[in-house]
Structure 1
Amino acid sequence: MVMRRLLRYLRPHRKSITVALFLLLLATAAEVAGPVLVKVFIDDYLIPGKFPVQPLVILGSAYLLLHCAVALLQYFQQFSFHKIAQRVIQQLRVDVFGKVQHLGLSFFDRSPGGALISRITNDTEAVKELFVSVLAFFVKDIVLILGVFVAMFLLDTKLAAYSLVLLPIFYGLMYTYHRLSHRVYQTIRQKLSELNAKLNESLQGMNVIQAFRQQERLQKAFEKTNRDHYRANMKNVRLNGLLLRPAVDLIYILTGIAVLTYFGIGTEGVVQIGVLYAFINLLNRMFEPVNEMMRQLSFLQQSMVSAARVFELLDEEERAPAREGEGHPEIRRGRIVFNDVTFSYDGRNDVLKNISFTVEPGQTVALVGHTGSGKTSIINLLMRFYPLNRGSITIDGVPLSRFTDEELRRRIGLVLQDPFLFVGTVEENIRLHHPGLADEDVREAARFVQAEGFIEKLPRGYQEPVGERGATFSSGQRQLLSFARTMALQPKILVLDEATASVDTETEEKIQEALSRMRKGRTTIAIAHRLSTVQDADLILVLHQGEIVERGTHQELLAQKGLYHKMYLLQQGVSEPA
């Protein structure tokens, strides 16, 4: 099944494969013809005292030309196979990366980033060896073996027929190796994936590891996984050492003894030395590709296991929620309605229970509550990162599922607590490659959120390079750039996930001023951990264990003296009266 799927990637290259196979056939014919010419020389012209010059020159020239032709033809056919293989793997990597881009966020919730990177890089690289080396060598070697048998039948039909018994022996040896090594290679690839996952996690969280002195614990965990990977590789080494070259060499020795015995006592009359030489030479040429195929079996197993892991990723069905219904509705006013929404990530435990609220156009609704109360889940559903379980969400009266992804992402601006910047320049991070944004639009967005001040102070201004995740910028600067990125598209709805949680007081003032300008005239849903940042919200929803337990303005909620009142006093450092 895996091999059939891999071979489908060869369909666009049928013409190139045909040319490569034709060159391979010519190279094989030239290679097999060499021993036949030597046989003719030995039996017909190697006569004591008589060496005809002209036939010897012709045979010698033909033999030399054959070797040159073999070298030339093998170069072109190997180049053709490698070129096809590189194109196949290029397409496979594009397919895998494209699939990952469209998987639902729930898939990434349960899949370590390092393990996914291992599949996209290491596993596809292993699959490349299948096309670059294994398939090319297998086709070449099988054709060569068939050519050798044809030449053997021309030399001695009876002995060639006896030699056919070698084919099931070779097949049995390969099948045994395949059965024994498959599980070993599965373990090797799995442990390599775990190594990459642990390495990625450690590098991402190095500051936390060093701050909490976790180096020794993580070192031991990495050593254990590395040791398991080593043991799996040693099992493979022992298996290769037993069933690959040594087993084939043993069969070759026994076959050579059988052939010499046949020519020594199994034939009647005079034995032609040329035939004996040619037969031994052809046997040697047949065992060379068998040895090569056995060596390639190791790569074949590794490639097949890796390909299975890649196709498992390609077959993942947990895609991001898709739009439903006909037409292309647009978000014009920004009226949001949650009606009796219940949601679960795992299908067992509800993180949202019967959530209902309405946000009128231009209003600001704040979501507050303790960690795990369901605030982020509401945002995830509104952004359609996860499929809705029960209830309904509408924007301007239209079900959320009917909007295209393009319309949702263009009209709903999302600002996260930890802004993500890409490698590139400041301008590229604001524009995000939207072709409809002119340079002036980018600068206007930066001015609107008051980011232009620090951008113009950078050595290269808007062309200042941005490192991985924007590590060279302060948290406040990264946040302002994320604001500019959001406002450049002029969204109708703003979704704010505690945009001031990780910045200093001075920067917070600038950000709060930018937020006030951004919220003006736009429907806004804001997650707030610090209640002081949402006191001016039109509506505050207090969540607890996935339910809305209180709702109202800041003053109304304080007057209720409920959960919001307790949270407010706690953040103000005031003890609640007994």
Structure 2
Amino acid sequence: MNIQTQTITAKEQRTVLKRLLSYAGKYKKEFIFAFILLIFATIGEIIGPYLVKVFIDDYLTPNSFEMGPITTLAALYVGILIVKTILTYFQLLKFQEISLKIIQDLRIDVFSKVQKLGLKFFDKTPGGSIVSRVTNDTEAIKDMFVSVISTFVQNGVFLVGIFIAMFLLNVQLALFCLLIIPIIFGIMATYRHFSSRFYADMRERLSQLNAKLNESLQGMSIIQVFRQERRLRKEFSDINDAHYKAGMKNIKLDGLLLRPAIDLVYVFSLILVLSYFGIASLGSEIEIGVLYAFVNYLGRFFEPVNQMMMRLSMYQQAIVSASRVFTLLDEKELAPVAQSNNSHMVSKGEIEFRNVTFSYDGSRDVLKNISFTAKQGETIALVGHTGSGKSSIINLLMRFYAIEKGDILIDGVSIKEYKDDELRKKMGLVLQDPFLFYGTINHNIRLHNEEITDEEIVEAAEFVQANHFIERLPDKYEQLVVERGSTFSSGQRQLVAFARTIATKPKILVLDEATANIDTETEEAIQVALEKMRKGRTTIAIAHRLSTIQDADQIFVLHQGEIVERGTHQELISQEGLYQKMYLLQNGTANKLEDVVTNN
């Protein structure tokens, strides 16, 4: 699969970093406390070599071993070492605690954003790609906050302290050592330029791997039935190979520009320092303690630089991942919401479609000038061939998509004016393939709606006759439901979905081929339940089996996005149009069926 990887510019990287750091504002006090601990720990780290320098120059070189001062110096050195160790532990602990809190906040923001996105976004975005951003990408960001930020802050303060100590020892040599900084920054800039491209490629490939894995798991039965294992394995292998190649490019870059390049600069710096002291010793005496301290500080200077360079890899991964996460957070394809602050209430459930035209892709209309009215308590049936627009009417009525042309009114008020809570509370939806959550049957009927009591759950199950199979289960209403309810039959899952809907006592009932997956015996029982459910409720039902909607108050026949026929069952049969042909195909005699085929 060919993809175009977006390269993140240096300016965009700075913007992403600034946005990431804005999450730390909530923990400003904790951050300041950790920073103070870091400064004191760094001071202790810097004082250590200086105390050794004092011992060498003031006591070891002149061969003066006064036990009192030496003991005091040693005790001071050991005490500073112990205090520094304790402070380092607590400042690292505090920095990582803040980091984990920040990543918690970010993950909640991302998950909450996903919940607000419209179905149009999910139509064009693979589920595995979204999962990758919520899990893999936020995990990379977590590594940055836990390992990178604290390391950069700690080592940055440490480097400043080292240079201060160097200037106190020898100003001229310290100025020479300042030349190292531009070289190091140049290596960092080069690494960031190339690695951002490679990491963007790796993250995109990882998203594709997740998407392919998710698709395979969802369609495993089809894959096995049609023997698609080899094809899927080949496609997965190709993506995996592309991910490997992108990773190898970055490994080669890491091997060249991280530790090896910095070690090379360190060697030349050490040669510079030793050459300086060697040349200086020809003209005058040099202090061994100063030489030791300077070489020690130089080594201590490059150790944090190496740590920062090694974590620069994590930093680049985090910046690329954060860019992908922020792209998701900035997504504009949100689910439609109320366009006013009015608190309209659905009281009757009367529905009116008024000249509704709709397109999913903006170019081909799937609904064309749809108009009809469903009065309170009426049952409206939508029939038509696949692709005629039946489900699109349901999607717009449920406000899964925004209406582009025309309007939908409930009780005379535009659907755009209702708040989500009111719409969802007063409209019950049962799909052809019901979705069950991991948990218990009780949980799946209640769906955390604390207003629904256990007694009402049992009543709802009895109402739709789901209680017959539930009571036979070992744990009855506390029976565990595995993912998607795969251990139950399609009919049993549908009955639980009916009970879930009826428990909310909706004013409007929407049935999207709700009895398609139910066996004949169960269907007879559910039709009785449906008849009771429809009483006093406005019902919109999609049906392929015309025998299930013959008692509907109105039947609308759709063809290519338009209502081409409307009326009751008897009226439509008498019109001898598309509905009659569909009815004869399903219920007619062999001769009638042959006539229909011949006429078509």
- TM-score (ref. length: structure 2): 0.95
Partner of 2:297: 282
- Aligned with 2:465: secondary structure? coil
2:434 is aligned with what amino acid?
P
1:503 positional shift: 2.0
Partner of 2:3: none
Q: Is the 1:334–1:493 Cα contact (8 Å) retained in structure 2?
A: yes
Q: Is the 2:556–2:565 Cα contact (8 Å) retained in structure 1?
A: yes
Q: 2:86 aligns with which of 72, 80, 85?
A: 72
1:14 is aligned with what amino acid?
K
1:64 positional shift: 1.5
1:266 positional shift: 4.1
1:50 positional shift: 3.8
Q: 1:144 aligns with which of 152, 158, 163?
A: 158
1:576 positional shift: 4.4
Partner of 1:398: 413
1:27 positional shift: 0.8
Q: 2:372 aligns with which of 333, 357, 371?
A: 357
Q: 2:48 aligns with which of 25, 34, 44?
A: 34
Matches within 5 A, 1:307-456: 307-456=322-471
Matches within 5 A, 1:459-538: 459-538=474-553
Which stretches of structure 1, 4 residues or longer, exceed 3 Å deviation after superposition? 47-50
Matches within 5 A, 1:260-271: 260-266=274-280, 268-271=283-286
Q: Is the 1:566–1:576 Cα contact (8 Å) retained in structure 2?
A: no
Q: 43-52 or 562-571, which moves further after superposition?
A: 43-52
1:572 positional shift: 2.5
Q: Is the 2:370–2:563 Cα contact (8 Å) retained in structure 1?
A: yes
Cα-to-partner distance string for 1:169-215 (whole Å, 9 max, x where unaligned): 11111111000111000000000010001001101111110000000
User: Is residue 2:259 matched to residue 1:245?
Assistant: yes
1:49, 1:239 → 2: CA distance?
51
Cα-to-partner distance string for 1:89-122 (whole Å, 9 max, x where unaligned): 1111111111110110111111111111110011
Cα-to-partner distance string for 1:271-308 (whole Å, 9 max, x where unaligned): 11100000000000000000001001100000000001
1:302 is aligned with what amino acid?
Q
1:47 positional shift: 3.9
Q: 446-455 or 235-244, which moves further after superposition?
A: 446-455
Q: What runs of 5+ residues in structure 1 fail to find an aligned partner?
A: none
- Alignment RMSD, CA only? 1.1
Cα-to-partner distance string for 1:136-184 (whole Å, 9 max, x where unaligned): 0000111111010001011111111111111111111111100011100
- Aligned with 1:341: secondary structure? strand
2:340, 2:419 → 1: CA distance?
10
- Aligned with 2:548: secondary structure? helix
1:554, 1:222 → 2: CA distance?
51
1:259 positional shift: 0.4
2:572, 2:63 → 1: CA distance?
120
1:325 positional shift: 2.4
Matches within 5 A, 1:206-225: 206-225=220-239
- Aligned with 2:342: secondary structure? coil
Partner of 1:178: 192
Q: Is the 1:373–1:547 Cα contact (8 Å) retained in structure 2?
A: yes
1:533 positional shift: 0.9
1:237, 1:4 → 2: CA distance?
27
Partner of 2:579: 564
User: Is residue 2:201 matched to residue 1:187?
Assistant: yes
1:227 is aligned with what amino acid?
D
Partner of 1:125: 139
1:269, 1:483 → 2: CA distance?
96
User: Is residue 2:270 matched to residue 1:256?
Assistant: yes
1:58 positional shift: 1.4
1:325, 1:295 → 2: CA distance?
53
Q: Is the 2:58–2:64 Cα contact (8 Å) retained in structure 1?
A: no
In the superposition, relative to structure 1, how do residues 279 and 49 fare at CA in structure 2: closer, same or farther (>3 Å)? closer
Partner of 1:236: 250
User: Is residue 2:173 matched to residue 1:159?
Assistant: yes
Q: 1:553 aligns with which of 568, 583, 587?
A: 568
Cα-to-partner distance string for 1:436-484 (whole Å, 9 max, x where unaligned): 1122111111111111122122111111111111112111111111111
1:269 positional shift: 1.1
2:278, 2:525 → 1: CA distance?
99
2:76, 2:361 → 1: CA distance?
73
- Aligned with 1:551: secondary structure? strand
- Aligned with 2:471: secondary structure? helix
Q: Is the 1:17–1:81 Cα contact (8 Å) retained in structure 2?
A: yes
1:48 positional shift: 6.3
Partner of 1:94: 108
1:142, 1:507 → 2: CA distance?
71
Q: Is the 1:569–1:576 Cα contact (8 Å) retained in structure 2?
A: no
Partner of 1:544: 559
Q: Is the 2:351–2:410 Cα contact (8 Å) retained in structure 1?
A: yes
1:48, 1:536 → 2: CA distance?
112
2:156, 2:342 → 1: CA distance?
57
- Aligned with 2:510: secondary structure? strand
1:50, 1:388 → 2: CA distance?
92
1:119, 1:283 → 2: CA distance?
41
Partner of 2:8: none
**Paired residues, what number?**
578
2:377, 2:297 → 1: CA distance?
86
2:330, 2:94 → 1: CA distance?
30
User: Is residue 2:314 matched to residue 1:299?
Assistant: yes
1:505 positional shift: 1.4
- TM-score (ref. length: structure 1): 0.99
2:128 is aligned with what amino acid?
G
Q: 2:129 aligns with which of 93, 115, 120?
A: 115
**Percent same amino acid at aligned positions?**
59
Q: Is the 2:280–2:286 Cα contact (8 Å) retained in structure 1?
A: no
1:542 positional shift: 0.6
- Aligned with 1:368: secondary structure? strand
- Aligned with 1:417: secondary structure? coil
